[in-house]
Structure 1
Amino acid sequence: MVLASLSEPTGQGWAQIGELALALALSAAIGLERELRQKSAGLRTHTLVGFAAALIMLVSKYGFTDVLGPRVILDPSRVAAQIVSGIGFIGGGLIFVRRDAVRGLTTAAVVWLTAAVGMAAGAGLPVLALAVTAGHFLVMLCFAPLAARLPGSTRVPVGLKVDYTDGRGVLRTVLERCTGLGYAVLELATDQRHDPREEEPGYRGVVSVRLLVQGQQPVAQLAAALSELDGVHAVSSMRETVE
């Protein structure tokens, strides 16, 4: 009877099924929030990450009980510890750099957090798993508006004034450069200056366009990039002018 009990792995009861179900529900809740925000890793990715992390945690705890004996000593934390390093491959694939704009850092962090939630559920720590999930929604829903109100935050929309030569397609190039550097153009208004030289043959007037932009990087980088465009005379923000 004793030998039979040692040859069969434990940890396959309703308690473990409940822990897996909790990991599935919490991971799906986190993934749903990411899906609604149209992030690169959404509902399915986060659900699978958390669900798999819980299963690996259970395997680490119970999966080797059938080989235990006087000469076999196992560390149940070794397999679970590999989740922390292994999830970095998924997170690294979500981060990409386009020119000077870094994208995907928050999404990669959320994937890492989802794995931790799954591990907590699989470890039999439901209170911690629920608390961390609640903390995720607190950060995602409340911290972004709070950060946007902080002085000097990159999330605060900033106004730029760009003076450029008319009739050369400069505005299209300016907008492409803004979006290419990861800035969203929230508002746009043009103001064409009246210049007596406009009556001269071949003279092109100067147009001023006011942009309200928002991005993850300091607006000074965008102003410097726009000032280098052919046909742009000056780029000014609320504090400085780049010519």
Structure 2
Amino acid sequence: MHFFTGSVGTQAGLLLLSFVLCGIIGLERQYRQKSSGFRTHVLVGMGACTFTLIGAFGFADFNLGQINHDPFRIAAQIVAGIGFLGAGVIFTRRDIVVGLTTAATVWVTAAVGMACGAGMGGLAVMLTALHLFCLIALTPLIDKLPTADRHSLLELTYEDGHGILREIVEIASEQEFATQVLSTSKRTSEEGSAVVDMQMRFTGKNPLDVLMDQLQGVSGIVSLHVAHEDDHERD
């Protein structure tokens, strides 16, 4: 069994194609700030491609009529088992799904191991290199991409003197949002209580709707809605 088979060029080309195509899909999900973004889609896509290539090329040297073991069945069981293992690292915190990239990484690692076990060293090396390139080199660039909420502002009114602003900032910080206060003004409401009108910008990887859902439950917030920056410029 040779480390680099004659079909390694085909395997590498198909793996690169899956990297590009799944990356395009992931970029769209990343822009829309979905829980599974660029990295998750690329890793899952490359893992699926590798599993398929292993099935197509990896067991060509096996004569199934002369052996008692079925490598195809073993490969299928590995794929199913790794799926359950990956699900174990995914959990939800404050309506935010975390652990998807880790789960995808576990799946890709299983694909690398299967490729090595099938004697497809060239494919395993290529998958490992693209995996590291995705997580180490591309991640800082992907994190700088503009999001759908980049022009959104949060306008809220809350009761003054109850520490509500501090609570809002704490919730935003827990969900990895950076907070910027754009304007603030105090006034007396129709009921005679002191309230604060504030315009804020929150930037982060997660959709602004997730933060909105959390702030809806804060006692003392009178009103809360999302505005678009362009609307204020037209005014």
CA RMSD of superposed structures (Å) = 3.7
The structure-2 alpha-carbon separation of the partners of 1:147 and 1:164, relative to structure 1 and needing over 3 Å to count, comes to: same
- Structure 2 unmatched ranges of 5 or more: 4-53
Asked whether the equivalents of residues 112 and 127 of structure 2 are also in contact (C-alpha less than 8 Å), the reply is yes
Q: 1:145 and 2:141 equivalent?
A: yes
Cα distance, 1:97 vs structure 2: 1.7
Which residue among 171, 192, 197 is the counterpart of 2:165?
Answer: 171
The structure-2 alpha-carbon separation of the partners of 1:109 and 1:157, relative to structure 1 and needing over 3 Å to count, comes to: farther
Q: 1:212 and 2:202 equivalent?
A: yes
Asked whether the equivalents of residues 165 and 207 of structure 1 are also in contact (C-alpha less than 8 Å), the reply is no
**Aligned sequence identity (%):** 36
Q: What pairs up with 1:190-209 in 2 under 5 angstroms?
A: 191-195=183-187, 197=188, 203-208=193-198
Aligned to 1:133: 128
Aligned to 1:232: 221
Cα distance, 1:120 vs structure 2: 0.8
Aligned to 2:28: none
Which structure is higher in RCO with an 8 Å CA cutoff and minimum separation 6? Answer: 2
**Which secondary structure does the structure 1 equivalent of 2:169 belong to?**
helix
Aligned to 1:88: 83
Which residue among 101, 114, 118 is the counterpart of 2:113?
Answer: 118
Which residue among 34, 53, 76 is the counterpart of 2:71?
Answer: 76
Which runs of at least 4 in structure 1 moved beyond 6 Å after TM superposition?
A: none
Q: What pairs up with 1:94-105 in 2 under 5 angstroms?
A: 94-105=89-100
Aligned residue pairs total 168
Distance of 1:113 and 1:189 partners within structure 2 = 42
Distance of 1:170 and 1:121 partners within structure 2 = 56
| TM-score where L is the length of structure 1 | 0.55
The structure-2 alpha-carbon separation of the partners of 1:149 and 1:210, relative to structure 1 and needing over 3 Å to count, comes to: same
Aligned to 2:176: 184
Distance of 1:176 and 1:238 partners within structure 2 = 22
Asked whether the equivalents of residues 159 and 193 of structure 2 are also in contact (C-alpha less than 8 Å), the reply is no
**Which secondary structure does the structure 1 equivalent of 2:88 belong to?**
helix
The structure-2 alpha-carbon separation of the partners of 1:102 and 1:157, relative to structure 1 and needing over 3 Å to count, comes to: farther
- Structure 1 unmatched ranges of 5 or more: 1-10, 16-56, 62-67
Asked whether the equivalents of residues 184 and 197 of structure 2 are also in contact (C-alpha less than 8 Å), the reply is yes
> Which structure would you say has the larger Rg?
1
Q: 1:162 and 2:156 equivalent?
A: yes
Distance of 1:150 and 1:186 partners within structure 2 = 15
| TM-score where L is the length of structure 2 | 0.56
